[in-house]
Amino acid sequence: MRFYFVLFFLVCGLALAAPAQERPYFVTYDHHLEEPGNLEIATASTVRVPREGQPAYVAPWVEIEYGVMTRWTIELYLEGISTRNDSTIWTGWRFENRFRPLRREHWINPILYFEYESINEASGIQKEVVGNAEISNESNADLRREHAHEIEAKLILSSTVRDWNISENFIVEKNLSEDEGFEFGYAFGVYRPLASLASGRNCRFCRENFSAGAEVYGGLGSTNGFGFKDTAHYFAPVLAWQVSENSTLRFSPAIGLTDVSARALMRFGYSYEIRGFGDRVARLFGASR
């Protein structure tokens, strides 16, 4: 019941409603892509606060995002996991593409998302939540032997309403290594900057440097059984602080809403953007010829 209550609360909150600097979401995507030629390097971690029968872990990952074109952004993820009373292992990599089919800003802005994942079953960053939740007691040594090649697609719908961003994501994932059918999930988020207008002061703690909101995300079963049965769902306040023109800190404590969810997921992230990276590389190679 908590899940349905939180979802109802978020939808009603939209009735109250300029995108901020860096999206504070950890799971939900909006329609903002990386500027062409800019490179963003980010590091983040998911810390699982477990229920009984679930191990606690820290799952760090690195993101390397590059703006190829105005309407095309690519991203590489490198991830690992450190599980309490177990071990620390490498869990794999992911390659993501986001395309914006419409050139101009619209009331609803669609983004097409495609990702290839080469990971093992120990993966725990939970960058998305899909399918049915399973509680595993296997060790990292056993889980790393179960390798998965997966493809994932998302339909991202994102709008700007006054100072609010409103984003809805529908997720479809297919494990190419197992005959599990297609798995489904969703993510829904809202956020806004704490101040619409700049204060005119050069300060790091001014309200316009902070963005806050919330997201809710979870699994929707699979083609073997679509719905909410045995699925994990989370409600997560989100906060982003633009420390400088190039760097942002993010934090999100996610609360598990079902018995098969973790008790909580604590997420932390830091990103640094290198503007004009593509032009610098082009000039460097041009000068070396």
The CATH number of 2-288, from 3.40.1160.10, 3.40.50.2300, 2.40.160.40, 2.60.120.260, is: 2.40.160.40
DSSP string, 160-201: EETTEEEEEEEEEEEETTS---EEEEEEEEEEEES-SS--SS
pLDDT average, residue stretch 17-34: 80
Which residues, in sequence order, are CB contacts of 143 under 8 Å at separation 6+? 120, 121, 122, 136
Domain layout of the chain by residue ranges: 2-288
CA dist 198 to 147, 178, 183, Å?
49, 52, 43
What tens digit of pLDDT does each residue of 63-113 get?
Answer: 999 999 999 999 999 999 999 999 999 999 999 999 999 999 999 999 999
Lowest mean pLDDT among 12-21, 87-96, 254-263: 12-21
Q: Is the pLDDT of residue 14 over 90?
A: no
pLDDT band at 172 (very low <50, low <70, confident <90, very high): very high
Q: Is the pLDDT of residue 3 over 60?
A: no
Tell me the two tokens of residue 63.
């993101």
Nearest C-alpha neighbor of 109 from the set 204, 206, 19, 208: 19
Alpha carbon distance 15, 5 (integer Å): 16
Burial of 203 (0-12, 13-18, 19+ CB in 10 A): exposed
pTM: 0.89
pLDDT average, residue stretch 31-41: 97
Beta-bridged to residue 184, according to DSSP, are: 172
Sequence letter at residue 179: D
